[in-house]
Chains A and B, each alone.
Chain A
Amino acid sequence: MKRLVIGALIAAGAVVQAQLPVPALYDEWRRVTLDGVVTRVAWANPRAYVFVDVRESGGTASAGTVANWAIEIGNPLDLEQRGWSRTTVRIGDSVSVEAVPARDSSKRALMSAFWTTRPRARVFSGSPRASASESKGPAPRWPDGQVRLGPPAGRKGYWGAPSLSTMSESGSKVSVRADGLLTNLSDADRVAPFQPWAKAVYLQRQRTLLKDDPAARCLPTGGPRQFHTPNGFQFVEQRDLGRILVLFGGGNRNWRIIYTDGRPLGQAAEAVPSYYGSSVGRWEKDTLVVESVGYNERFWMTNGGLPHTEALRLLERFSRPDLNTLRYEVTVDDPRTYTRPWRSEWTVRWVPDREIEEFFCEENAESTFIR
């Protein structure tokens, strides 16, 4: 029996994908072992599933009956990076799966390890393959010397994994899980300088395991959270048009526009507040400085549930100290939510010689996919 180890997928999948967030959906304190035969493989975004007929064990009223379990195995793009393909597991395979069961009584679980009895099955590691073509070097530049935020001329690539998957105030030491849940709720005051109502809302979201997260319903991840979204992003610098497009590989494959044509910051009073706001940018030496206003209140500003109001203003600074590193710094100014402006920062890793892959959050909405 060969073993497919995909333990890291729990953490990867916990970064918000479609539908209920992972912490709210699965009971991480329980484990089940499911032995059975594969009946269906759903290789779809954002969550791939293997369906397995499992014979109920003795000692229960349903002993001997067969139940069809939906086993979530992770995001296909992550799986492919770990060497798993849509044909790795096939209908009719006998498998054994260690998994985290759903919090409710549904026959649904999140894989933590996977064995197949099929001969010559590959053995997989739990971490992504290292890029064979990763190269080092200085930040690429345009002919006039300006730093390029996209790939070097004639090359491909995009920005991939962030160094942090959630946001808290720079300099504060807070233990936060990949999904944004605090290890200790008493650390909340160190996450950000909350107004009392905002802290109450943040704690309520934490205590309910992020179950009301708008991103889990495939709504756009506005604000700084856009740079925490799985599956990366890329900059398309349209210098002749005076704007930079930011294309997101996760969520709903949305885009954001940063105008660099010198227009003033502002938004007409009658304009509809939006998920990505209204942004203007300027270069200060090798740093792109972006100011944004005009946000709606329909998104959570980060994994973990930081709130905000329409008064939110962001000051973002993008710099590229070398080919493979994007440094992102953001100052959050929302006096209706926080007692003072505060700052956070992280870096993002370059993925060379690859294009962002197709990913649609809505593709396997629970209502149409899981029985």
Chain B
Amino acid sequence: MRTRTIVLTVVFVGLTASARTQEGHPLTGTWAGDWGPSGASRTHITMVMNWDGKAVTGVINPGPDAVSLTAVSVDWGTWTVRIDAKGIAAEGRMEDIGSSHRRIVGTWSQGGAKGDFKLTRD
């Protein structure tokens, strides 16, 4: 039991350390969070983005129900991110930019519904 605790602790510390140190393009990586019209009605989001040198590509909710991103743009003066996918439009500001666990917070439109969203980089 004690050995297991030590091993888990080491693994956790290692993960924490590595997570803190991810650099590179600010959008590259896996982001997790949710969106919804109210605090009581939320829908989970996983978003994976990658920078190939010319464009940011990616998917929402990777797996059988994945939705490909059609366009991602950033205003680097204000750190405002615009994300488009089929039936989805989101716009938000990047926060805590220097952290590997940076966030994007803003508004999300899907179908006829609108709400807010918050994504945190893993």
Contacts and interface: CB of A to CB of B under 8 A. Distances in A.
A binds B: yes
Interface string B1-41: 00000000000000000101111111010000000000000
Contacts of A219: 21
Contacts of A212: 98-99
- The prevalent SS among residues of B at the interface is loop
A200 B94 CA distance: 12
A95 to B, nearest CB: 37
Given A217-B21, A298-B21, A197 B98 contact: no
Contacts, number: 51
A320 interface: no
Chain A CB within 10 Å, residue with most, of B20, B25, B28: B25
Interface string B25-64: 1101000000000000000000000011100000000000
A326 B116 CA distance: 57
B76 A208 contact: no
A298 B8 CA distance: 24
Nearest to B99: A212
Contacts of B77: 200
A211 B99 CA distance: 10
Contact of A217 (B20, B53, B74): B20
A217 B26 CA distance: 20
A204 interface: yes
B24 A214 contact: no
A157 interface: no
A298 B97 CA distance: 15
A150 interface: no
A197 B23 contact: no
A200 B98 contact: no
Given A205-B98, A211-B98, A308 B24 contact: yes
Interface in A182-236: 195-197, 199-201, 204-205, 208, 211-212, 214, 217, 219
A307 interface: yes
A336 B21 contact: no
Nearest to A201: B26
B26 A197 contact: yes
Interface of B: 18, 20-26, 28, 51-53, 74, 76-77, 79, 97-99
B22 A298 contact: yes
Contacts of B25: 197, 309, 336
A199 B26 CA distance: 12
Contacts of A201: 26, 97
Which 5 residue pairs of A and B lie closest in terms of their CB atoms, listed nearest first? Answer: A297-B24, A212-B98, A200-B76, A336-B53, A298-B21
A297 B23 contact: yes
A311 B53 contact: yes
Contacts of B79: 200
A138 B47 CA distance: 59
A212 B74 CA distance: 22
B93 to A, nearest CB: 13
B76 A298 contact: no
A184 to B, nearest CB: 18
Contact of B98 (A208, A299, A309): A208
Contact of B22 (A199, A200, A297, A308): A297
20 contacts: A196-B76, A197-B25, A197-B51, A200-B77, A201-B26, A201-B97, A205-B98, A212-B99, A214-B23, A217-B20, A217-B21, A297-B23, A300-B23, A307-B23, A309-B25, A309-B53, A310-B24, A335-B53, A336-B25, A336-B52
A362 to B, nearest CB: 12
B27 to A, nearest CB: 8
A87 B37 CA distance: 66
Nearest to A311: B53
Nearest to B98: A212
Contacts of B99: 212
A201 B93 CA distance: 15
B98 A307 contact: no
A210 to B, nearest CB: 10
A122 B24 CA distance: 49
A299 B23 contact: yes
Contacts of A298: 18, 21-23
